[in-house]
Amino acid sequence: MTDLDQRYADPDGLAYGPSAGSLADLLERVLDKGVVIAGDIKIDLLDIELLTIRLRLFIASVDTAKKAGIDWWETDPALSSRAARDSLAEENARLRARLDALESSLEDDSADDAVEETSGAAR
């Protein structure tokens, strides 16, 4: 044992530290209740604010976050395959609507041209 180990040893010579059970309990409580860590970083030069960074960190389980109204990972296509499929389906529907509008516009133009040709031939 080193000097450091001997300083933090109980009288029987065994090293002590946090038990695994208490660490697991602590982690479970943090995830169950949630923890918010907030901080601001400001960079000033001669009383002129150049940069401000606001940091907010919320550590919690998924269930606790949902109870708090936080569920952005479900709608972010980069994090959710369902959200990616949904965004592709929405884009596909928009493109189909634009294509239908263009096709109907072309059909209207060709119908107008046909009417003009027949009226010009009748003169």
Give the pLDDT score at 14. 56
Those residues with Cβ within 8 angstroms of residue 78's Cβ, 6 or more apart along the chain or in another chain = 84
Between CA 85 and CA 51 the distance in angstroms is 38
From first to last of its 123 residues, the chain has per-residue pLDDT tens of 454 445 555 555 555 555 557 888 888 888 888 888 889 999 998 888 899 999 888 888 888 888 888 877 777 777 777 766 777 888 899 999 999 999 998 888 777 776 666 666 555
